[in-house]
Amino acid sequence: MNILKGLIPEIKLALPEILKLRSQKTKKEDDSYVSEGDLLVDRMVIDFVKKNYPSVVVITEETYTASTIDVHATEFVAIVDPIDGTENFISGLREWGIGVCIYHNGIFEEALIGLPELDQYVHSDDDIDKVFDSRIYGISSSLTKEDLLALESGFEYRIIGCCMYNMFNVIRGSFKQFQNPKGAKSWDILPGLNIALKNGLEVIVDNKPYHGEFLQATERYRFCIKNL
């Protein structure tokens, strides 16, 4: 199923309006920012998902309340990160992304990663042609100085500050791997984890092989995606 591909033209059409809102920001309780651009994309994606999927529960970074979800109690569950990499977005960088992941009766259905300002999109039904033999290891911006000093030597490391962008790059082969040993929320990672699986990459979550399971938004998950 590729219903989420219908979201791409809507994002492209709304991009000028989204970009106008990047300087309108509010600090959240965790000291991170949310912009009016985040909230606009949040509304857009929620409206699209509810219009196209019956009996859907939508979990988004900006509207989520701390509780577990019974994925078998409703037909569809959608997990949405309206703007991943908000710090990049509000700082004028183009490396920010949108992620959406759909589960049907508890089973993965489809996912989409969009990098709107770079005009690049990848859907779980896409077959990615890897033309690069990269040695770059992407790492999370959540790592501390001590974490960075403990990294294994001998690799090319990159910190970009956007999980969707990093996942896009490892899926297309521009990164050898991408990892977050500190942990991330499900809306940060479910789109990329499942698209990576569909394209034959090795996916590890909390030190175990990942097979497409739903991940609760109440937890943080350590993960690694690797080109074999």
pTM for the predicted model, two decimal places? 0.94
Is the pLDDT at 171 greater than 80? The verdict is: yes
pLDDT band at 216 (very low <50, low <70, confident <90, very high): very high
Q: Are 168 and 206 in contact (CB under 8 A)?
A: no
Average pLDDT over residues 79-96: 97
Query: Domain residues of the chain, as ranges?
Result: 3-123, 136-226
Q: What is the mean pLDDT of the chain?
A: 93
Is the pLDDT at 147 greater than 80? The verdict is: yes
CATH class held by domain 3-123: alpha beta
- pLDDT tens column, 10-23: 999 999 999 999 99
Q: If we measure between CA atoms, which residue out of 147, 39, 151 comes closest to residue 86? A: 39
* Total residues found in the chain within this entry: 228
Is the pLDDT at 197 greater than 80? The verdict is: yes
Apex CA 89: angle with CA 86 and CA 92, to 5°? 150
Pairing type for strands 177-184 and 208-209 reads unpaired
Q: What is the CATH number of domain 136-226?
A: 3.40.190.80
Pairing type for strands 156-158 and 202-205 reads unpaired
- Look at 100-109, 126-135, 155-164 and tell me which has the smallest mean pLDDT: 126-135
Q: State how far Cα 135 lies from the chain centre.
A: 22
Burial of 27 (0-12, 13-18, 19+ CB in 10 A): exposed
- pLDDT tens column, 113-145: 999 999 999 999 998 888 888 999 999 998 888
